[in-house]
Amino acid sequence: MATVKELKATARPSVGKGAARAERRAGRVPGVIYGNNQPPLPIAVDDRELRQRILAGRFLTTVCDIDLEGKKHRVIPRDFHLDPVRDFPIHVDFLRLGEGATIRVSVPLHVVKSEASPGVKRGGTVNIVTHAIELECSVDNIPQFIEADVGALEISHSLHLSDVKMPTGVKSLAREDITLVTIVPPSGYAEELKAAAASAAAAGGAAAPAAGAAAPAAAPAAAAAPAAGAKAPAAGAKAPAGGGDKKK
């Protein structure tokens, strides 16, 4: 169940730039409630309270009950504008929510178990590629954030949206193959891998001649074969000599 915050507001009797400036001078921020097949409703909210809500975070994903002169309107903030110089809110828009309504929201990504990641233990750094995910869900089931578990990631490995389990009743509107988080290798990691590969290749090259060196050592034994065969003619040479004696 989504957390519902209460926010008090007053009706704006008139609209336009002049009326909006008058509201700001009085310490209020002009806004509007729209949607749900009803006419827009101009309102004004307290400047200080609105700033606190925005600075607290998750403002655009928090359902609110706006108390307007005793009548409550279930809304969700859809947009707000800040002064480009002084950075304070100058306008805010609220979307009116009907019962059982389904909306699209952008929810932040929270990385968990980074300290257990093998890549982080080896000096890698967690790099968040996607900071927020577009979701579609009911107004009563808006998650505050989506968890990305990187506890099993090695260096240069990534976590994709397809690896994350969505809460019940929540649908992701992004591609399943988008990268959420990756473990970046530490400085000099590529050079270390090249050096290790070169050392392994050198060690393997040195072992090959050592193993082959045994073959030439066996060559003298093979050379003894003709010497053994040389006795055959010597033994055969006696046969003619013996045959001559018989003729005599």
Helical spans, DSSP H, in 36-159: 47-56, 118-121
Residues near 236 by Cβ (< 8 Å), separated by ≥ 6? none
Strand pairing report for 125-128 and 71-82: unpaired
pTM of the model: 0.66
Written as tens digits, the pLDDT of the chain (248 aa) is 467 889 999 999 888 889 899 999 999 999 999 998 899 999 999 999 999 999 988 899 899 999 998 899 999 999 999 999 988 999 999 999 988 789 999 999 999 999 999 999 999 999 999 999 999 999 888 898 999 999 999 999 999 999 999 999 999 999 999 999 999 998 866 676 676 677 777 777 665 555 455 544 444 444 444 444 444 444 444 444 444 444 43
Q: CA nearest 43: which of 71, 15, 3? A: 15
CA pair distance 109, 147, nearest whole angstrom = 6
* Under 8 Å between Cβ of 135 and 171: yes
What is the pLDDT, as a whole number, of residue 14? 83
Residues near 247 by Cβ (< 8 Å), separated by ≥ 6? none
What is the pLDDT, as a whole number, of residue 209? 55
Q: CA nearest 45: which of 94, 4, 96, 87? A: 94
What is the pLDDT, as a whole number, of residue 155? 92
Residue count of the chain = 248
Distances (CA, A) of 24 to 90, 143, 166: 7, 33, 41
Residues near 158 by Cβ (< 8 Å), separated by ≥ 6? 129, 179, 180, 181, 182, 183
